[in-house]
């Protein structure tokens, strides 16, 4: 009979879970990972990766329409939506298969099925063949999250979609409503708008991309509107009437309810943690608004039980989950672990233009009582940006005026999701403005704007 006892069982094979499993195995543990759907979780299969593949297709499509600007000719430009979607699914499939290879390489047992925790140190898994009962000294919950659905706005897969439907659309929207302007909503709005959908975005907060610095949000709004998007802020979709192939949205804005007709609606109003049917309440695990309550080391308060990633709360980001996975594995092994500092985790949104940030916004820094210095630098002042034909954007830095600590950095423009890591490293190393000003940035690169934005905060900017 197969041995079903392990040092570590991970429930959920997303970017938090599979990384925790791999690091645990590297540290000499006998590891089992349980997954009910696809290795790689939502991120690799239905989130981060396939959306980036779709957005890459729309980006190339957009550039093709700009061919004349670059001295090129391109006639009869069009797209095949089925082929675009097929490519994104192939990319997701390739990476999911790669996770399977990593499991084998690290001798990790993979059990496909639905897991519950009947008691401390025990995991019961319902598989296609029956029920498997496993035991472990340590269990890591990495079950992730799913799309939040509001009453009256539930998805049906035909007229009203979640992100899953939007990744495999039954049709190309002609008139699209996106509810919510966070990263998920804006990325899909950007994709479908670029392909020609008449796109309206409704945001309940007072600005789009509400977690970003207000200046970046305002810049983004102007860019989206220039691309033809309609932006409704401080607005709420109260009801959706579905009839035939049309949806009538009742939208409250300015104290009045307006009605607008669409053929497709994408609901992107946040996520809820997958905490149900795991047996957590019976174990005494504390749950707050569908998320497991943990300390900075992802400990649940139940000996040997940890929770990482989206199920453990904000920020709901794959890279945060992966770091927590490594941290928990190190902690279980008795090694020194580095807890996540939420304010040092970068957030990236892959719309057009891209948005990226780390640390405090200007408003938050002021709220916390900091005396600040703020620097800005526009893409139009950078040679590489002009050469690329990407002059639309800016970089903003925020420093503690007393200590020179980099409190926050906020970017909008081409490839800023690749640039932000420079500032992330700066925060991790507790870099001051002097360190950054004395760093030599290569020319010609977009990264020079990062340097100039620091110089501007101290009145030393060169190219502006």
Query: What are the catalytic residues?
Result: 443
The answer to whether the CB of 347 falls within 8 A of the CB of 211 is yes
CB burial of 366-386 (b: ≥16 within 10 Å; e: otherwise) equals: eeeebebbbbbbbbebbebbe
Angle, CA of 208, 209 and 211, to the nearest 5°: 130
The residues, any chain, with a CB within 8 Å of residue 32's CB and separated by 6 or more, are: 6, 8, 9, 10, 108, 109, 110, 111, 134, 136
146: left (phi > 0), else alpha (psi -120 to 50), else beta? beta
Concatenated DSSP letters of 99-137: HHHHHHHTT-EEEESEEEEEETTEEEEEETTEEEEEEEE
Note whether 202 and 232 are within 8 A (CB): yes
**H helix runs in 196-298, sequence order:** 214-226, 280-283
Q: Do residues 370 and 403 lie in contact, with contact meaning Cβ atoms separated by under 8 Å?
A: no
**Which of 162, 155, 178 is CA-nearest to residue 229?**
178
Residues 6+ apart with CB under 8 A from 276: none
Task: Say how many Å lie between the first and final Cα of the chain, rounded.
Answer: 73
Q: Residue 71: exposed, middle, or buried by beta-carbon count in 10 A (0-12, 13-18, 19+)?
A: exposed
Peptide bond into 430 cis (omega under 30): no
Class of residue 131 by CB neighbours under 10 A (exposed 0-12, middle 13-18, buried 19+): exposed
Q: What is the rounded CA–CA span in Å between residue 342 and residue 321?
A: 11
Q: Read off φ and ψ for residue 84, nearest 5 degrees.
A: -60, -45
Rounded distance between C-alpha atoms, residue 407 and residue 403, angstroms: 10
User: For residue 151, with 0-12 CB atoms within 10 Å meaning exposed, 13-18 middle and 19 or more buried, which class applies?
Assistant: exposed
Contact by Cβ (8 Å): 7, 137: yes
DSSP 123-179: EEEEETTEEEEEEEEEEEE---EEE---TT----SSSEE-HHHHHS-SS--SEEEEE
The strand pairing partners of 307, in sequence order, are: 141
Q: How many CB atoms lie within 10 A of CB 244?
A: 7
């Amino acid at each position: 009979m197969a041995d079903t006892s392990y040092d570590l069982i991970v429930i959920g094979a997303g970017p938090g879970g599979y990384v925790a499993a791999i690091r645990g195995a590297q540290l000499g543990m006998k590891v089992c990972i349980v997954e009910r759907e696809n290795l790689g979780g939502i991120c690799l299969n239905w989130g981060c990766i396939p959306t980036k593949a779709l957005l890459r297709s729309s980006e190339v499509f957009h550039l093709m329409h700009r061919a004349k600007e670059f001295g090129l000719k391109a006639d009869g430009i069009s797209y095949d939506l089925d082929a675009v979607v097929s490519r994104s699914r192939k990319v997701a499939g390739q990476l999911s298969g790669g996770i399977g290879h990593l499991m084998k390489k690290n001798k990790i047992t993979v059990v496909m099925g639905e897991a519950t925790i009947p008691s401390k140190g025990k995991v019961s898994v319902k598989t296609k063949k029956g029920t498997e009962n496993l035991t472990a000294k340590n269990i890591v919950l990495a079950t992730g999250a799913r799309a939040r659905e509001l009453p009256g706005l539930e998805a049906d897969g035909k007229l009203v979609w979640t992100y899953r439907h939007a990744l495999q659309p039954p049709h190309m929207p002609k008139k699209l409503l996106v509810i919510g302007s966070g990263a998920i909503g804006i990325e899909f709005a950007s994709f479908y708008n670029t392909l020609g959908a008449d796109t309206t975005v409704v945001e309940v907060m007072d600005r789009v991309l509400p977690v970003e610095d207000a200046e970046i949000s305002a810049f983004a709004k102007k860019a989206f509107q220039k691309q033809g998007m309609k932006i409704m802020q401080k607005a709420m979709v109260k009801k959706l009437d579905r009839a035939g192939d049309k949806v009538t949205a009742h939208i409250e804005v300015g104290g009045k309810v307006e009605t607008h007709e669409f053929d497709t609606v994408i609901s992107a109003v946040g996520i809820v943690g997958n905490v149900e049917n795991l047996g957590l309440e019976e174990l005494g695990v504390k749950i707050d608004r569908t998320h497991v309550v943990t300390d900075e080391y992802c400990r649940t308060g139940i000996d040997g039980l940890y929770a990482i990633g989206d199920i453990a709360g904000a920020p709901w980001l794959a890279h945060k989950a992966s770091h927590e996975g490594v941290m928990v594995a190190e902690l279980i092994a008795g090694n020194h672990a580095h807890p996540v500092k939420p304010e040092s985790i970068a957030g990236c949104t892959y719309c057009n233009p891209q948005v990226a940030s780390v640390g405090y916004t200007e408003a938050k820094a002021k709220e916390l009582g900091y005396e600040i210095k703020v620097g800005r630098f526009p893409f139009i002042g950078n040679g590489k940006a002009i050469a690329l034909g990407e002059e639309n954007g800016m970089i903003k830095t925020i420093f503690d005026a007393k200590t020179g600590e980099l409190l926050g950095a906020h970017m909008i423009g081409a490839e800023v999701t690749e640039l932000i890591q420079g500032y992330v490293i700066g925060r991790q190393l507790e870099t001051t403005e002097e360190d950054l000003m004395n760093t030599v940035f290569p020319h010609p690169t977009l990264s020079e704007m990062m340097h100039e934005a620091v110089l501007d905060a101290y009145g030393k900017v060169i190219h502006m």
